[in-house]
Amino acid sequence: MPPLHSMTTLRRLKLLLAAAELVCVAASLTAAWQAHASMEMSGLGDLDRFAFWNSIIALSLMLFFLLWVAAVLLALFARQREHFGSAARYWKHLVPDVLLPPVLLAAGWLAFVVLQ
């Protein structure tokens, strides 16, 4: 295995973290949709199913934030190892793995709230 500071290894690890974060976003939104479908706004419905899907939401959000913190730490580690010619180039490298997943999570939840 190449050393951790290798560019290809870091890039692969960043993409893996971003993909895992996006899976957590999808799981969270899907579970929210299922939880919403299991209970009516009046409070009638399957309470056990609602609690199950809410626990899936909580677990996927916790995992998302743990992965996101790992991505931030990896980005800081990469900044120490790499030399970026400009601030714009550094921010461009942060978009796919650090900045985009939380924006997608917020946009997905906003869309879910608005569409319900």
For residue 114, give the 3-state DSSP assignment: helix
Q: 53-61 long-range CB contacts below 8 Å, 24 or more apart?
A: 56/27, 56/28, 56/31, 57/28, 57/31, 57/32, 60/24, 60/25, 60/27, 60/28, 60/31, 61/24, 61/28
Q: How many structural domains are present in the chain?
A: 1
Task: Provide the whole-model pTM.
Answer: 0.81
Residue 2 has pLDDT above 80, yes or no: no
63: in domain: yes
Give the domain range for residue 34.
7-115
- Asked whether residue 89 is domain-assigned, the answer is yes
In a domain, residue 1? The reply is no
Between 100 and 94, residue with greater pLDDT: 100
Residue pLDDT, tens place only, 78-88: 776 666 677 77
Q: Can you give the pLDDT at residue 44? A: 85
Evaluate whether residue 83 is within a structural domain.
yes
